[in-house]
């Protein structure tokens, strides 16, 4: 069985490969594909095959997917371009005779008002239309999304957000990667839709408390309005589009779109998900 992992030079893709190897997958059965040639070279040192791809270059996808049995389609990072990119990958997989696709989606992608959902919803529809058996891993929030917050709160002692009392059930990226590796290497997952999240949903005050432990100083949660949040972000140098996106995500949090704790991630990996403090400490 040959498994092609897209986005292999990103954090999640690399972790999926590491978990596949830990679970005993033969490195010769793994093809790591991505755009960053230096990071692909690092993966080659693990014994896996590699290939440079560009989602816009169909020939590169055809070559990388040739002979593959399973495609681990890690969702692209270019918001606004992902549907086109994923469509090219799915079409190439179909042409290559790939027998199975595992895709990293977003929580309740088919019904959610989450700002990230539309591109994932469209990709899920493409998978359904492809005729290829697939599994949806609807990954929730990553604790690593707060990596850039750590130096900021270490400097200021303030975690500022417009999420109000909204809660987030985050887990560490390695938890989600381990779940993907399990799905890729065990039977019975065709057609399954897994709503994956951390075991505990926390709010801004609990995040600030955890950050206090991690950075070694008191961190307080400053709850602000969306307008105040936008002004603070643009004042810190972010462009209006990026600031608007981040404020919208906080609005989604405020509306409870990231708070669901299904327990499915813990059941898949056979252990509790990584606690918030532990996850933050690992990236600090």
**Residue 58, Cβ density class (10 Å: 0-12 exposed, 13-18 middle, ≥19 buried):** middle
**Domains of the chain as residue ranges with CATH:** 3-139 (3.40.50.720), 145-168+199-260+271-283 (3.90.25.10)
pLDDT (tens digit, 9 = 90+) per residue, 228-277? 999 999 999 999 999 999 999 999 999 999 999 999 999 999 999 999 99
Hey, what's the torsion of the CAs at 266, 122, 258, 138, to 10 degrees? 0
Q: Residue 80: pLDDT above 90?
A: no
Spell out the residues 6+ positions from residue 87 whose beta carbon is closer than 8 angstroms to its own.
Answer: 123, 126
Residue 23 has pLDDT above 90, yes or no: yes
pLDDT digits (tens, 9 = 90+) for 159-193: 999 999 999 999 999 999 999 999 999 999 999 99
What integer best gives the mean pLDDT of the chain?
97
């Amino acid at each position: 069985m040959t498994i092609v992992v897209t986005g292999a030079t990103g954090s999640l893709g690399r972790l999926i490969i590491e978990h596949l190897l830990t679970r005993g997958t033969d490195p010769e059965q793994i093809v790591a594909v991505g755009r960053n040639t230096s990071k692909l070279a690092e993966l080659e040192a693990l014994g896996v095959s590699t290939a440079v791809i560009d989602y816009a270059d169909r020939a590169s996808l055809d070559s990388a997917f040739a002979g593959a049995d399973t495609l681990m389609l890690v969702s692209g990072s270019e918001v606004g371009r992902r549907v086109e990119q994923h469509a090219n990958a799915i079409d190439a997989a179909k042409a290559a005779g790939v027998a199975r696709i595992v895709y990293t989606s977003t929580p309740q992608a088919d019904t959610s008002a989450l700002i990230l959902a539309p591109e994932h919803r469209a990709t899920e529809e493409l998978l359904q239309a492809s005729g290829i058996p697939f599994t949806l891993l609807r990954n929730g929030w990553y604790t690593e999304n707060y990596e850039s917050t750590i130096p900021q709160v270490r400097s200021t002692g303030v975690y500022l957000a417009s999420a109000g009392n909204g809660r987030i059930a985050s887990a560490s990226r390695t938890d989600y990667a381990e779940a993907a590796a399990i799905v890729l290497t065990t039977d019975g997952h065709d057609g399954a839709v897994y709503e994956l999240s951390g075991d505990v949903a926390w709010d801004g005050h609990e995040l600030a408390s955890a950050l206090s432990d991690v950075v070694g100083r008191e961190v307080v949660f400053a709850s602000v309005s969306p307008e105040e949040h936008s002004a603070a972000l643009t004042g810190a140098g972010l462009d209006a589009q990026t600031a608007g996106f981040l404020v919208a995500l906080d609005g989604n949090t405020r509306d409870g779109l990231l708070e669901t704790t299904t327990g499915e991630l813990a059941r898949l990996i056979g252990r509790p998900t990584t606690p918030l403090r532990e996850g933050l400490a690992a990236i600090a």
